[in-house]
Amino acid sequence: MRIIVFLIGICFFANVCFAQDLSVRDEINQLKERIAALEKKVSNQDKYIATQESTVKTQQQTISDYEMRLSQFEEKLKRVPGEPIKLMEGLELGVGGTFIAQGTNNVNYDGDGQTLKKDRTDGSYSADVTLAKEFKEIGGKAFLHLEAGQGAGLENNLTLYSNVNRDAGDSEARVEVTELWYEQGLFKDRVAITFGKLDPTAYFDQSEVANDETTQFLGRIFRNSPTVEFPDNNAGIRLAYLPVEWLELGYGMFNAKSGWDKIGDNLFNIGQVSFRTKLLGQPGNYRMYGWSNNAYHTEWSDPEKSKETAYGFGLSFDQKVTDIVTLFARYGWQDPKVYNPEITTAAGGYNYSLVQSWSTGFQIEGKPWGRENDVLAFAVGQVFPSKDYKDYYGYLAKPEGHLEAYYNIHLNKYLSISQDFQYIWNPFGKDITGDTSPIFVGGMRAQVDF
Protein backbone atom coordinates (compact mmCIF):
# COMPACT_ATOMS: atom_id res chain seq x y z
CA MET A 1 0.00 0.00 0.00
CA ARG A 2 2.82 2.38 0.85
CA ILE A 3 4.48 1.54 -2.41
CA ILE A 4 1.29 2.43 -4.30
CA VAL A 5 0.93 5.71 -2.44
CA PHE A 6 4.61 6.48 -3.13
CA LEU A 7 4.16 5.77 -6.84
CA ILE A 8 1.01 7.91 -6.97
CA GLY A 9 2.95 10.78 -5.32
CA ILE A 10 5.78 10.47 -7.79
CA CYS A 11 3.34 10.57 -10.71
CA PHE A 12 1.57 13.60 -9.28
CA PHE A 13 4.87 15.43 -8.78
CA ALA A 14 6.00 14.57 -12.30
CA ASN A 15 2.71 15.85 -13.75
CA VAL A 16 3.05 19.06 -11.81
CA CYS A 17 6.65 19.57 -12.94
CA PHE A 18 5.76 18.75 -16.52
CA ALA A 19 2.86 21.20 -16.46
CA GLN A 20 5.08 23.86 -14.98
CA ASP A 21 7.74 23.17 -17.61
CA LEU A 22 5.14 23.57 -20.38
CA SER A 23 3.93 26.83 -18.81
CA VAL A 24 7.50 28.16 -18.62
CA ARG A 25 8.15 27.18 -22.22
CA ASP A 26 4.95 28.89 -23.33
CA GLU A 27 5.94 32.04 -21.46
CA ILE A 28 9.43 31.92 -22.96
CA ASN A 29 8.01 31.49 -26.48
CA GLN A 30 5.57 34.33 -25.90
CA LEU A 31 8.41 36.47 -24.59
CA LYS A 32 10.51 35.64 -27.65
CA GLU A 33 7.60 36.57 -29.90
CA ARG A 34 7.17 39.86 -28.08
CA ILE A 35 10.88 40.58 -28.28
CA ALA A 36 10.88 39.79 -32.00
CA ALA A 37 7.87 42.06 -32.50
CA LEU A 38 9.59 44.83 -30.55
CA GLU A 39 12.78 44.38 -32.53
CA LYS A 40 10.82 44.60 -35.76
CA LYS A 41 9.04 47.69 -34.51
CA VAL A 42 12.35 49.29 -33.47
CA SER A 43 13.84 48.37 -36.85
CA ASN A 44 10.88 49.98 -38.63
CA GLN A 45 11.22 53.07 -36.45
CA ASP A 46 14.95 53.24 -37.24
CA LYS A 47 14.15 53.04 -40.93
CA TYR A 48 11.49 55.74 -40.53
CA ILE A 49 13.92 57.99 -38.62
CA ALA A 50 16.58 57.41 -41.28
CA THR A 51 14.04 58.27 -43.96
CA GLN A 52 13.06 61.43 -42.10
CA GLU A 53 16.70 62.41 -41.63
CA SER A 54 17.29 61.89 -45.35
CA THR A 55 14.21 63.97 -46.14
CA VAL A 56 15.40 66.75 -43.82
CA LYS A 57 18.85 66.70 -45.44
CA THR A 58 17.25 66.83 -48.89
CA GLN A 59 15.05 69.73 -47.81
CA GLN A 60 18.03 71.54 -46.30
CA GLN A 61 20.00 71.02 -49.51
CA THR A 62 17.01 72.22 -51.53
CA ILE A 63 16.76 75.34 -49.36
CA SER A 64 20.50 75.90 -49.69
CA ASP A 65 20.33 75.47 -53.48
CA TYR A 66 17.31 77.76 -53.64
CA GLU A 67 19.06 80.50 -51.66
CA MET A 68 22.15 80.21 -53.86
CA ARG A 69 20.16 80.26 -57.11
CA LEU A 70 17.91 83.07 -55.93
CA SER A 71 20.91 85.15 -54.94
CA GLN A 72 22.29 84.69 -58.46
CA PHE A 73 19.03 85.79 -60.04
CA GLU A 74 18.53 88.82 -57.78
CA GLU A 75 20.10 91.90 -59.30
CA LYS A 76 21.98 94.16 -56.95
CA LEU A 77 20.16 97.41 -56.30
CA LYS A 78 23.20 99.42 -57.30
CA ARG A 79 21.30 102.64 -57.50
CA VAL A 80 20.69 102.27 -53.77
CA PRO A 81 23.85 100.69 -52.33
CA GLY A 82 22.84 101.28 -48.70
CA GLU A 83 21.27 98.46 -46.71
CA PRO A 84 17.50 98.20 -47.39
CA ILE A 85 15.09 98.59 -44.48
CA LYS A 86 13.18 95.39 -43.65
CA LEU A 87 9.57 96.47 -43.13
CA MET A 88 8.25 92.97 -42.59
CA GLU A 89 9.23 89.44 -43.51
CA GLY A 90 10.58 89.51 -47.06
CA LEU A 91 9.67 93.17 -47.67
CA GLU A 92 12.52 95.67 -48.14
CA LEU A 93 12.57 99.43 -48.67
CA GLY A 94 15.53 101.36 -50.07
CA VAL A 95 15.90 105.12 -50.45
CA GLY A 96 18.81 107.01 -51.99
CA GLY A 97 19.74 110.30 -53.59
CA THR A 98 22.48 111.35 -56.03
CA PHE A 99 23.70 114.93 -56.43
CA ILE A 100 26.10 115.86 -59.24
CA ALA A 101 27.85 119.12 -60.18
CA GLN A 102 30.09 119.26 -63.25
CA GLY A 103 32.08 122.04 -64.88
CA THR A 104 33.89 122.23 -68.21
CA ASN A 105 36.37 124.50 -69.93
CA ASN A 106 34.76 124.06 -73.33
CA VAL A 107 31.05 124.15 -74.06
CA ASN A 108 30.80 123.25 -77.75
CA TYR A 109 27.06 123.95 -78.16
CA ASP A 110 25.11 126.95 -76.89
CA GLY A 111 21.58 125.76 -77.59
CA ASP A 112 21.03 127.93 -80.67
CA GLY A 113 22.96 125.88 -83.17
CA GLN A 114 26.04 128.07 -82.79
CA THR A 115 29.34 126.93 -81.34
CA LEU A 116 30.46 128.78 -78.26
CA LYS A 117 33.63 128.23 -76.28
CA LYS A 118 33.27 129.16 -72.64
CA ASP A 119 33.33 127.74 -69.15
CA ARG A 120 30.14 126.32 -67.72
CA THR A 121 28.99 124.52 -64.55
CA ASP A 122 25.72 122.60 -64.30
CA GLY A 123 24.11 120.26 -61.80
CA SER A 124 21.59 117.45 -61.58
CA TYR A 125 20.03 115.27 -58.94
CA SER A 126 18.11 112.03 -58.78
CA ALA A 127 16.23 110.27 -56.00
CA ASP A 128 15.43 106.56 -55.89
CA VAL A 129 12.87 104.66 -53.85
CA THR A 130 12.80 100.88 -54.19
CA LEU A 131 10.38 98.38 -52.72
CA ALA A 132 11.06 94.65 -53.03
CA LYS A 133 9.08 91.68 -51.77
CA GLU A 134 10.26 88.07 -51.78
CA PHE A 135 7.87 85.13 -51.86
CA LYS A 136 10.23 82.43 -50.64
CA GLU A 137 7.59 79.74 -50.46
CA ILE A 138 7.07 79.91 -54.22
CA GLY A 139 10.46 81.29 -55.32
CA GLY A 140 9.14 84.63 -56.53
CA LYS A 141 10.01 88.30 -56.15
CA ALA A 142 8.27 91.60 -56.94
CA PHE A 143 10.14 94.88 -57.37
CA LEU A 144 9.14 98.55 -57.68
CA HIS A 145 11.55 101.40 -58.45
CA LEU A 146 10.39 105.01 -58.30
CA GLU A 147 12.76 107.70 -59.54
CA ALA A 148 12.59 111.47 -59.33
CA GLY A 149 15.08 114.05 -60.51
CA GLN A 150 15.87 117.22 -62.34
CA GLY A 151 18.69 118.63 -64.41
CA ALA A 152 20.36 117.64 -67.67
CA GLY A 153 23.75 118.69 -66.35
CA LEU A 154 26.30 119.54 -69.01
CA GLU A 155 24.84 117.10 -71.51
CA ASN A 156 22.60 119.72 -73.19
CA ASN A 157 25.70 121.81 -73.91
CA LEU A 158 28.08 119.15 -75.20
CA THR A 159 27.78 117.55 -78.62
CA LEU A 160 29.34 114.11 -78.22
CA TYR A 161 28.86 110.55 -79.41
CA SER A 162 28.92 109.48 -75.76
CA ASN A 163 28.11 112.03 -73.10
CA VAL A 164 29.43 112.74 -69.60
CA ASN A 165 26.59 112.25 -67.06
CA ARG A 166 24.67 108.97 -67.21
CA ASP A 167 22.60 110.02 -64.17
CA ALA A 168 21.30 113.23 -65.79
CA GLY A 169 17.67 113.52 -66.77
CA ASP A 170 15.53 116.31 -68.14
CA SER A 171 15.70 120.00 -67.36
CA GLU A 172 12.19 119.77 -65.90
CA ALA A 173 11.49 117.96 -62.65
CA ARG A 174 10.20 114.42 -63.10
CA VAL A 175 8.75 111.56 -61.06
CA GLU A 176 8.27 108.19 -62.73
CA VAL A 177 8.07 104.46 -62.24
CA THR A 178 11.33 103.29 -63.82
CA GLU A 179 10.98 99.61 -62.95
CA LEU A 180 8.04 97.43 -61.97
CA TRP A 181 8.44 93.70 -62.41
CA TYR A 182 7.80 90.21 -61.08
CA GLU A 183 10.34 87.39 -61.19
CA GLN A 184 9.60 83.69 -60.78
CA GLY A 185 12.08 80.87 -60.25
CA LEU A 186 11.28 77.56 -61.95
CA PHE A 187 12.67 74.02 -62.12
CA LYS A 188 14.40 74.16 -58.74
CA ASP A 189 15.45 77.73 -59.51
CA ARG A 190 17.58 76.80 -62.49
CA VAL A 191 15.29 78.98 -64.60
CA ALA A 192 14.01 82.49 -63.88
CA ILE A 193 11.47 84.51 -65.79
CA THR A 194 11.10 88.26 -65.21
CA PHE A 195 8.42 90.42 -66.79
CA GLY A 196 7.04 93.93 -66.46
CA LYS A 197 8.71 97.31 -66.91
CA LEU A 198 12.38 96.37 -67.05
CA ASP A 199 15.80 97.99 -67.32
CA PRO A 200 17.65 95.97 -70.00
CA THR A 201 21.07 97.10 -68.69
CA ALA A 202 20.36 95.37 -65.36
CA TYR A 203 20.56 92.00 -67.13
CA PHE A 204 22.85 92.50 -70.14
CA ASP A 205 26.28 94.09 -70.72
CA GLN A 206 26.80 94.28 -66.96
CA SER A 207 30.06 94.87 -65.12
CA GLU A 208 30.94 94.60 -61.46
CA VAL A 209 32.93 97.86 -61.50
CA ALA A 210 31.49 99.84 -64.44
CA ASN A 211 27.70 99.60 -64.37
CA ASP A 212 26.44 102.14 -61.81
CA GLU A 213 26.52 105.87 -62.44
CA THR A 214 25.69 106.73 -58.81
CA THR A 215 28.84 105.20 -57.33
CA GLN A 216 31.09 104.22 -60.25
CA PHE A 217 31.91 105.85 -63.62
CA LEU A 218 29.68 108.74 -64.74
CA GLY A 219 30.59 108.73 -68.46
CA ARG A 220 28.11 106.85 -70.63
CA ILE A 221 30.84 105.01 -72.56
CA PHE A 222 31.91 103.30 -69.33
CA ARG A 223 28.40 102.62 -67.99
CA ASN A 224 27.40 100.55 -71.05
CA SER A 225 28.63 100.10 -74.59
CA PRO A 226 27.44 103.02 -76.78
CA THR A 227 27.20 100.61 -79.73
CA VAL A 228 24.20 98.81 -78.19
CA GLU A 229 20.81 100.42 -78.88
CA PHE A 230 19.39 99.70 -75.45
CA PRO A 231 15.83 101.04 -75.29
CA ASP A 232 14.64 103.05 -72.32
CA ASN A 233 13.08 101.11 -69.46
CA ASN A 234 9.96 99.63 -70.98
CA ALA A 235 7.73 96.61 -71.35
CA GLY A 236 9.82 93.47 -71.55
CA ILE A 237 10.46 89.90 -70.58
CA ARG A 238 13.74 88.28 -69.57
CA LEU A 239 14.65 84.60 -69.22
CA ALA A 240 17.69 83.18 -67.47
CA TYR A 241 18.89 79.57 -67.31
CA LEU A 242 21.66 78.26 -65.05
CA PRO A 243 22.56 74.74 -66.20
CA VAL A 244 25.54 74.84 -63.83
CA GLU A 245 26.68 77.31 -61.19
CA TRP A 246 29.36 78.90 -63.39
CA LEU A 247 27.24 79.38 -66.52
CA GLU A 248 24.18 81.56 -67.16
CA LEU A 249 22.26 81.84 -70.42
CA GLY A 250 20.09 84.94 -70.74
CA TYR A 251 17.56 86.22 -73.25
CA GLY A 252 15.55 89.43 -73.25
CA MET A 253 12.83 90.90 -75.43
CA PHE A 254 11.86 94.55 -74.90
CA ASN A 255 9.72 97.19 -76.52
CA ALA A 256 12.16 99.19 -78.64
CA LYS A 257 10.16 102.41 -78.52
CA SER A 258 8.79 104.56 -75.70
CA GLY A 259 5.29 103.91 -74.47
CA TRP A 260 3.21 100.78 -74.26
CA ASP A 261 1.30 101.01 -77.54
CA LYS A 262 1.91 98.29 -80.13
CA ILE A 263 4.60 96.70 -77.97
CA GLY A 264 4.93 93.77 -80.37
CA ASP A 265 5.70 95.90 -83.43
CA ASN A 266 9.14 97.23 -82.46
CA LEU A 267 11.26 94.79 -80.52
CA PHE A 268 14.76 94.84 -79.12
CA ASN A 269 16.04 91.27 -78.72
CA ILE A 270 19.25 90.32 -76.94
CA GLY A 271 20.88 87.07 -75.87
CA GLN A 272 23.86 86.71 -73.57
CA VAL A 273 26.17 83.94 -72.34
CA SER A 274 27.86 84.61 -68.99
CA PHE A 275 30.71 82.62 -67.48
CA ARG A 276 31.54 82.97 -63.78
CA THR A 277 35.12 81.99 -63.09
CA LYS A 278 37.62 81.64 -60.26
CA LEU A 279 40.87 82.70 -61.88
CA LEU A 280 43.71 82.23 -59.36
CA GLY A 281 41.10 82.07 -56.64
CA GLN A 282 39.53 85.43 -57.59
CA PRO A 283 36.01 85.86 -59.06
CA GLY A 284 35.48 86.98 -62.63
CA ASN A 285 32.65 87.41 -65.13
CA TYR A 286 32.95 86.96 -68.90
CA ARG A 287 29.90 87.95 -70.95
CA MET A 288 29.23 87.68 -74.69
CA TYR A 289 26.02 88.92 -76.28
CA GLY A 290 24.27 89.64 -79.56
CA TRP A 291 21.28 91.89 -80.21
CA SER A 292 18.87 93.11 -82.88
CA ASN A 293 16.48 96.04 -83.04
CA ASN A 294 13.65 95.96 -85.60
CA ALA A 295 12.47 99.51 -84.96
CA TYR A 296 12.70 101.39 -88.23
CA HIS A 297 16.25 102.31 -89.28
CA THR A 298 17.35 104.19 -92.36
CA GLU A 299 20.17 103.14 -94.64
CA TRP A 300 22.82 105.83 -95.13
CA SER A 301 23.53 104.94 -98.75
CA ASP A 302 19.84 104.75 -99.72
CA PRO A 303 17.51 106.88 -97.55
CA GLU A 304 14.51 105.33 -99.31
CA LYS A 305 15.25 102.20 -97.28
CA SER A 306 13.77 103.46 -94.03
CA LYS A 307 12.46 100.24 -92.47
CA GLU A 308 15.71 98.41 -91.88
CA THR A 309 16.74 96.38 -88.81
CA ALA A 310 19.92 97.04 -86.81
CA TYR A 311 22.03 94.41 -85.08
CA GLY A 312 25.32 94.01 -83.25
CA PHE A 313 27.32 92.10 -80.67
CA GLY A 314 29.53 92.83 -77.69
CA LEU A 315 31.75 91.59 -74.86
CA SER A 316 31.96 92.65 -71.23
CA PHE A 317 34.62 91.22 -68.90
CA ASP A 318 35.48 91.95 -65.29
CA GLN A 319 38.09 90.07 -63.28
CA LYS A 320 39.32 90.55 -59.75
CA VAL A 321 43.09 90.01 -59.84
CA THR A 322 43.86 90.65 -56.15
CA ASP A 323 41.78 91.25 -53.05
CA ILE A 324 41.67 94.96 -53.87
CA VAL A 325 42.14 95.30 -57.66
CA THR A 326 39.49 94.56 -60.31
CA LEU A 327 40.00 94.94 -64.06
CA PHE A 328 37.28 95.41 -66.67
CA ALA A 329 36.98 95.63 -70.46
CA ARG A 330 34.20 96.11 -73.00
CA TYR A 331 33.94 95.89 -76.76
CA GLY A 332 30.94 96.47 -79.01
CA TRP A 333 30.17 96.42 -82.74
CA GLN A 334 27.00 97.30 -84.63
CA ASP A 335 25.76 97.44 -88.21
CA PRO A 336 27.42 100.57 -89.71
CA LYS A 337 25.11 100.88 -92.70
CA VAL A 338 21.97 102.10 -90.91
CA TYR A 339 20.95 104.64 -88.30
CA ASN A 340 17.99 105.17 -86.01
CA PRO A 341 16.41 108.59 -86.69
CA GLU A 342 15.24 108.74 -83.06
CA ILE A 343 18.79 108.49 -81.70
CA THR A 344 20.43 111.91 -81.77
CA THR A 345 23.03 113.86 -79.81
CA ALA A 346 21.76 115.48 -76.60
CA ALA A 347 23.02 118.86 -77.84
CA GLY A 348 22.10 119.86 -81.38
CA GLY A 349 20.02 116.80 -82.18
CA TYR A 350 22.40 115.42 -84.81
CA ASN A 351 21.86 111.99 -86.35
CA TYR A 352 24.88 109.68 -86.35
CA SER A 353 25.80 106.02 -86.29
CA LEU A 354 28.64 104.12 -84.64
CA VAL A 355 30.42 101.00 -85.77
CA GLN A 356 32.45 99.99 -82.73
CA SER A 357 33.63 101.04 -79.29
CA TRP A 358 36.00 99.77 -76.65
CA SER A 359 36.76 100.64 -73.05
CA THR A 360 38.97 99.28 -70.31
CA GLY A 361 40.04 100.22 -66.82
CA PHE A 362 40.49 99.19 -63.22
CA GLN A 363 39.21 99.73 -59.70
CA ILE A 364 41.36 99.75 -56.56
CA GLU A 365 39.88 99.52 -53.08
CA GLY A 366 41.43 101.76 -50.44
CA LYS A 367 42.59 99.17 -47.93
CA PRO A 368 46.38 99.76 -48.50
CA TRP A 369 46.08 103.39 -47.36
CA GLY A 370 43.74 102.68 -44.47
CA ARG A 371 40.47 103.49 -46.28
CA GLU A 372 39.09 100.05 -47.09
CA ASN A 373 35.69 101.37 -48.20
CA ASP A 374 37.12 104.01 -50.55
CA VAL A 375 37.54 103.32 -54.26
CA LEU A 376 39.98 104.71 -56.83
CA ALA A 377 39.16 103.96 -60.48
CA PHE A 378 40.42 104.81 -63.95
CA ALA A 379 39.09 104.05 -67.45
CA VAL A 380 39.86 104.88 -71.06
CA GLY A 381 37.98 104.14 -74.28
CA GLN A 382 37.06 105.19 -77.80
CA VAL A 383 33.92 105.43 -79.91
CA PHE A 384 34.21 104.93 -83.71
CA PRO A 385 31.62 106.45 -86.06
CA SER A 386 30.70 104.40 -89.11
CA LYS A 387 32.22 104.97 -92.55
CA ASP A 388 28.75 105.11 -94.14
CA TYR A 389 27.84 107.99 -91.83
CA LYS A 390 31.16 109.70 -92.60
CA ASP A 391 30.65 109.36 -96.36
CA TYR A 392 27.05 110.58 -96.21
CA TYR A 393 27.97 113.91 -94.61
CA GLY A 394 31.55 114.16 -95.82
CA TYR A 395 32.70 114.41 -92.19
CA LEU A 396 36.11 113.73 -90.68
CA ALA A 397 34.38 111.34 -88.25
CA LYS A 398 37.46 110.68 -86.14
CA PRO A 399 37.26 108.27 -83.18
CA GLU A 400 36.06 110.09 -80.08
CA GLY A 401 38.29 109.33 -77.08
CA HIS A 402 37.30 109.29 -73.42
CA LEU A 403 39.28 109.13 -70.22
CA GLU A 404 37.74 109.15 -66.74
CA ALA A 405 39.08 108.85 -63.20
CA TYR A 406 37.26 109.12 -59.88
CA TYR A 407 37.93 108.68 -56.20
CA ASN A 408 34.95 107.66 -54.08
CA ILE A 409 35.32 108.68 -50.42
CA HIS A 410 33.18 106.61 -48.06
CA LEU A 411 32.42 109.03 -45.23
CA ASN A 412 29.93 106.78 -43.42
CA LYS A 413 27.32 104.16 -44.25
CA TYR A 414 24.92 106.90 -45.35
CA LEU A 415 27.14 109.22 -47.38
CA SER A 416 29.91 108.95 -49.98
CA ILE A 417 31.47 111.71 -52.07
CA SER A 418 33.28 111.25 -55.38
CA GLN A 419 35.67 113.51 -57.23
CA ASP A 420 35.30 112.79 -60.94
CA PHE A 421 37.47 113.91 -63.87
CA GLN A 422 36.83 113.33 -67.58
CA TYR A 423 38.81 114.23 -70.68
CA ILE A 424 37.37 113.91 -74.19
CA TRP A 425 39.41 114.32 -77.37
CA ASN A 426 38.02 114.50 -80.91
CA PRO A 427 34.56 115.44 -79.57
CA PHE A 428 31.91 114.32 -82.05
CA GLY A 429 34.68 113.19 -84.39
CA LYS A 430 35.97 116.78 -84.78
CA ASP A 431 32.91 117.65 -86.82
CA ILE A 432 31.60 120.49 -84.64
CA THR A 433 31.70 123.71 -86.65
CA GLY A 434 34.33 126.11 -85.39
CA ASP A 435 35.40 124.24 -82.25
CA THR A 436 37.10 120.87 -82.15
CA SER A 437 39.37 121.28 -79.13
CA PRO A 438 39.42 118.65 -76.36
CA ILE A 439 36.99 118.94 -73.46
CA PHE A 440 37.91 118.65 -69.80
CA VAL A 441 35.12 117.97 -67.27
CA GLY A 442 35.59 118.10 -63.51
CA GLY A 443 32.84 117.14 -61.11
CA MET A 444 31.69 116.22 -57.65
CA ARG A 445 29.10 113.60 -56.79
CA ALA A 446 27.39 112.93 -53.47
CA GLN A 447 25.50 109.70 -52.86
CA VAL A 448 23.17 109.56 -49.86
CA ASP A 449 21.49 106.33 -48.72
CA PHE A 450 19.03 106.06 -45.86
- pLDDT at site 11: 52
Rounded to whole angstroms, the Cα distance separating 357 from 78 reads: 24
Decide: helix, strand or coil at residue 68: helix
- Give the mean model confidence (pLDDT) for residues 285-293: 98
Q: What is the pLDDT of residues 39-96, one digit of tens each?
A: 777 677 777 777 767 666 666 665 555 555 555 545 443 444 455 555 567 789 999 9
**Which pLDDT tens digit goes with each residue over 297-310?**
999 999 999 999 99
The CA distance from 75 to 21, in Å, is 81
The pTM is what? 0.79
Rounded to an integer, the average pLDDT of 33-39 is: 76
Nearest Cα neighbor of 78 from 257, 259, 186, 211 is: 211
Q: In the prediction, which pLDDT does 80 show? A: 43
User: In Å, how far are 127, 152, 221 from 172, measured between CA atoms?
Assistant: 14, 9, 25
Fold of the 84-449 domain? Porin (2.40.160)
Whole-number Å distance between alpha carbons of 214 and 99: 9
Across the chain, mean pLDDT equals 87
Comparison of pLDDT for 24 and 46, the residue scoring more:
46
pLDDT tens digits along 160-192? 999 999 999 888 888 999 999 999 999 988 999
Read off the pLDDT band of 118 (50, 70, 90).
confident
Mean pLDDT of 349-353: 93
With beta carbons less than 8 A apart as the criterion, state whether 208 and 285 touch.
yes
Rg (CA), the chain: 35
Q: How far apart are CA 417 and CA 409, in angstroms?
A: 5
Distance CA 445, CA 215 (A): 8
Summarised one tens digit per residue, pLDDT across range 225-254 is: 999 999 999 999 999 999 999 999 999 999
CA distance 227 to 214: 22
Answer whether 135's CB lies under 8 Å from 179's CB.
no
Specify the pLDDT at position 43.
74
**pLDDT at res. 67:** 56
Every domain of the chain and the residues it spans: 1-73, 84-449
